[in-house]
């Protein structure tokens, strides 16, 4: 086993950053891709350890103005499918907690998020699915946690999509190769004080 550490060193006067240590599987895992364990730390708070059946391989993270973080990651179960993850993290009661996790599962060519940084936070753009060819359509889903209704492909098609023009600070997150061009049309997911949000989203209190 070996760990991959993503860390940023700040001055003593700066706010604490998010630090992620990932433990990856020994050897090859075929067409499946995942981490065995994540440890997520923020300052001197007790770190969060995530060890699930398919723990996301971590990617970049972004600080929100209110001190929360969004950590991106990805997993793949093979058979041409891939899931992109966005974890909403914060410190509560001196512990790092995962408030919510957004998961978009699609075929691999469609596995891309557009991250747009704004003055008051970030927005996450979900690309409009192709109207010509879709692989594994019955496995597509968009979810934001157990308390929210997960969308299947027909429902994902019904979301409102808008044309987007690239901005200087946009990030196209398309692991593992990061070679996918920016999507032309997306539905925007906003991050509110209550978590991820898109129009007509249905969640229990």
Cα–Cα distance, 40 to 49 (Å, whole number): 6
For residue 201, the model assigns a pLDDT of 85
Cα–Cα distance, 48 to 71 (Å, whole number): 13
Q: Are 183 and 127 in contact (CB under 8 A)?
A: yes
Cis before 62? omega within 30 = no
For residue 3, the model assigns a pLDDT of 47
Secondary structure element (H or E) that encloses residue 189, with its range:
strand 185-192
User: For the residues of 150-178, what is the DSSP string, one character each?
Assistant: PB-HHHHHTS--EE----TT-EEE-TTT-
What distance, in Å, lies between the first and last C-alpha atoms of the chain?
40
Q: Are 201 and 139 in contact (CB under 8 A)?
A: no
**pTM, rounded to two decimals:** 0.90
Cα–Cα distance, 62 to 171 (Å, whole number): 11
Tokens of 13: 């006067």
Cα–Cα distance, 42 to 94 (Å, whole number): 10
- In sign, the C-alpha dihedral spanning 98, 141, 113, 1 is positive
Q: Are 165 and 183 in contact (CB under 8 A)?
A: no
Which has the closest alpha carbon to 170: 203, 123, 134? 123
Please, which residues have CB within 8 angstroms of residue 173's CB and are 6 or more apart in sequence?
59, 60, 72, 84, 112, 113, 114, 115
Tens-level pLDDT at each residue, the chain (205 residues): 344 544 443 334 568 899 999 999 987 777 889 999 999 999 999 999 999 989 999 999 999 999 999 999 999 988 899 999 999 999 999 999 999 999 999 999 999 999 999 888 899 999 999 998 889 899 999 999 888 889 999 999 999 999 999 899 999 999 999 988 999 999 999 999 989 998 878 887 6
């Amino acid at each position: 086993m070996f760990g991959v550490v993503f860390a940023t060193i700040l001055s003593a006067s700066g706010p604490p950053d998010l630090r992620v240590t990932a433990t990856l599987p020994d050897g090859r895992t075929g067409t499946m891709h995942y981490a065995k364990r994540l440890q997520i730390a923020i300052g001197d708070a007790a770190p969060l350890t995530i060890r699930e059946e398919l723990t996301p391989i971590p990617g970049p993270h972004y600080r929100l103005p209110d001190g929360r973080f969004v950590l991106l990651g990805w997993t793949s179960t093979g058979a041409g499918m891939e899931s992109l993850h966005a974890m909403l993290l914060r410190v509560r009661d001196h512990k790092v907690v995962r408030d919510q996790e957004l998961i978009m599962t699609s075929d691999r060519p469609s596995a891309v998020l557009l991250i747009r940084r704004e003055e008051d936070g970030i927005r996450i753009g979900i690309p409009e699915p192709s109207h010509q060819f879709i692989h594994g359509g019955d496995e597509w889903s968009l979810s934001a946690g157990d308390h929210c209704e997960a969308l299947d492909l027909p429902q994902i098609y019904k979301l409102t999509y808008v044309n987007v023009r690239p901005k200087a600070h946009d990030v196209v997150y398309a692991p593992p190769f990061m070679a996918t061009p920016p999507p032309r049309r997306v539905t925007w997911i906003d991050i509110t004080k209550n978590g991820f949000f898109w129009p007509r989203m249905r969640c229990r209190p």
